[in-house]
């Protein structure tokens, strides 16, 4: 009988500890949640825009052949931490169609004159056209529908 009581007390203690941890996280991480239950948020991986054949390694340099590529710098807003920070250098391309952009990709769009870089978490189509739902990796809320015409670039590589 003592073993049954001990097992019940052990289970109740474990459950109370788990509930305490859960509610503590809710209190301390209300705006931005880089960790939820102590585990990094899972997200889709970005598309593979650069194939291995486009990367050439030499003794004194590395050459990456990417058509119509440019370089990006990032403001320290915190919305894409830990993926992007002000010390990162990005390689970006202008997408030609909505089909090139996939869930997991990091894209740049323009709103009210500002460039915003967030990750694609969903995509769809409505009467206005192809749209994407974007969200900063470190944000709790998404940006709403962003239409293909608003998207300026897709980040295809990061160099730190």
- Model confidence pLDDT, tens digit, residues 108-146: 999 888 899 999 999 999 999 999 999 999 898 999 999
H helix runs in the chain, sequence order? 2-28
12 shares its domain with 87:
no
**Are 67 and 130 found together in one domain?**
yes
Q: Are residues 100 and 142 in the same domain?
A: yes
Q: Residue for token digits 């809710």?
A: 26
- 148 or 10: which carries more pLDDT confidence? 148
Residues 143 and 100 in one domain: yes
pLDDT of residue 26 exceeding 60, the answer is no
Structural domain count, the chain: 2
Residues 6+ apart with CB under 8 A from 84: 74, 90, 106, 117, 137, 158
The reported pLDDT for the residue numbered 101 is: 96
The verdict on 75 and 104 lying in the same domain is: yes
- Report the DSSP beta bridge partners of residue 27: none
In a domain, 98, yes or no: yes
- Interatomic CA distance for residues 125 and 145, integer angstroms: 10
CA distances from 103 to 16, 53, 71, 86, 97 (A): 37, 24, 22, 24, 14
- pLDDT value at residue 75: 83
Asked if the structure places residue 39 within a domain, the reply is: no
N-to-C CA span, the chain:
61
**Residue 13 domain boundaries:** 2-30
Q: Is residue 96 located within the same domain as residue 70?
A: yes
Q: Is 87 found in the same domain as 16?
A: no
Same domain, 59 and 120: yes
Q: Are residues 59 and 98 in the same domain?
A: yes
20 and 69 inside one domain: no
Q: Does the pLDDT of residue 27 top 70, yes or no?
A: no
Residues 6+ apart with CB under 8 A from 160: 87, 88, 89
Instruction: With respect to residue 102, please indicate whether it lies within any of the assigned structural domains.
Output: yes
β-pair partners for 155: 92, 106
User: The pTM is what?
Assistant: 0.70
Q: What pLDDT is attached to residue 135? A: 94
């Amino acid at each position: 009988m003592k073993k049954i009581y001990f097992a019940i007390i052990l289970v109740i203690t474990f459950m109370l500890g788990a509930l305490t941890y859960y509610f503590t996280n809710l209190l301390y991480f209300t705006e931005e949640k880089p960790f939820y239950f102590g585990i990094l948020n899972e997200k889709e991986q970005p598309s593979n825009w650069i194939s291995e054949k486009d990367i050439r390694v030499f003794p004194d340099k590395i050459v990456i052949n990417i058509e119509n590529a440019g370089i990006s710098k990032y403001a320290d807003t915190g919305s894409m931490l830990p993926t992007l920070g002000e010390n990162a250098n990005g390689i970006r391309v202008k997408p030609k169609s909505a089909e090139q952009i996939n869930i997991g990709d990091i894209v740049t769009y323009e709103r009210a004159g500002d460039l915003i870089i967030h990750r694609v978490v969903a995509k769809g189509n409505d009467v206005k056209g192809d749209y994407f739902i974007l969200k900063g990796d470190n944000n709790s809320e998404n940006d709403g529908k962003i239409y293909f015409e608003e998207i300026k670039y897709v980040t295809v590589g990061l160099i730190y």
